[in-house]
Amino acid sequence: MGKYYKQNAFKASTESGLAEFLFAPVSEFSAIQVAPSTGTSAGETAEITTAHTFTASNDGFVKAKTDNRMHSIDFKDAGELGSKVSTSTAKVRFKFGSEAEMLEFVREAKNDEFITLHKTAKCGDGMYMQLGCACQGATISFDGKTGTLKDGSKYIEGTVEYFGEPVMYSASVDLAA
């Protein structure tokens, strides 16, 4: 399988109205960091402060073009007291230049696992909410809802799902070449 997720449609963009959604397949990492299991200050066990590393120097996170009006993260707990588990879900509207690029991404991404970073709403704080970890990546699925935006670009709505709790990521972010 090629590097379908590095297609031209996902090259970093400065367009307004885009949410910052970064992703990379779990297989591209040489080390995926975790939040510490113990801490001395509030929030410390829910934040990754050491950068993830990639297997090749030109690998890194890909910045997807997404519509910021259709980008949200929800998480919920399920189960009985003492054995509850969390599920995290992000709704994302992916933007593409053409139908062919969109269909290729849908075909290839559905059977891959990812680490996804979702920029927090506070501009300039360098914080992301991460879904996925080394032992269980986040998955991306599509419901088939597609369309064309005012600027002529194509979109498809997708769901990022992770069976675990999100964590904050404040370390440096390497972008794919």
Q: What's the token pair of residue 144? A: 């088939």
Tell which wins on pLDDT, 30 or 91. 30
Confidence bin at 146 (pLDDT 50/70/90) = confident
Mean pLDDT, residues 74-98 taken together = 86
Task: For the full predicted model, state whether its pTM sits above 0.85.
Answer: no
**Structural domain includes residue 97:** yes
Instruction: Tell me if 57 sits within 8 A of 27, measured CB to CB.
Output: no
Q: How far apart are CA 157 and CA 67, in angstroms?
A: 10
Greatest C-alpha distance within the chain: 51
In this prediction, residue 6 carries a pLDDT of: 52
Over pLDDT 70: what percentage of the chain? 84
Q: Does residue 177 sit within a domain?
A: no
Residue whose token pair is 């704080």? 125
Range of the domain at 114: 4-169
pLDDT digits (tens, 9 = 90+) for 7-51: 444 444 444 444 678 899 999 999 999 999 888 888 899 999 999
Give the pLDDT confidence score for residue 8 in this predicted structure: 44
| Residue 176 forms part of a structural domain | no
- Give yes or no for residue 139 having a pLDDT over 50: yes
Instruction: Please state the rounded mean pLDDT for residues 130-144.
Output: 91
Q: How far is CA 96 from CA 43, 101, 106, 147, 155, in A?
A: 37, 7, 11, 10, 6
Q: What angle do CA 75, 77, 83 make, to 5 degrees?
A: 150
Q: Could you identify the residue written with the tokens 């890194």?
A: 60
What is the pLDDT, as a whole number, of residue 70?
Answer: 66
Report the domain count for the chain.
Answer: 1
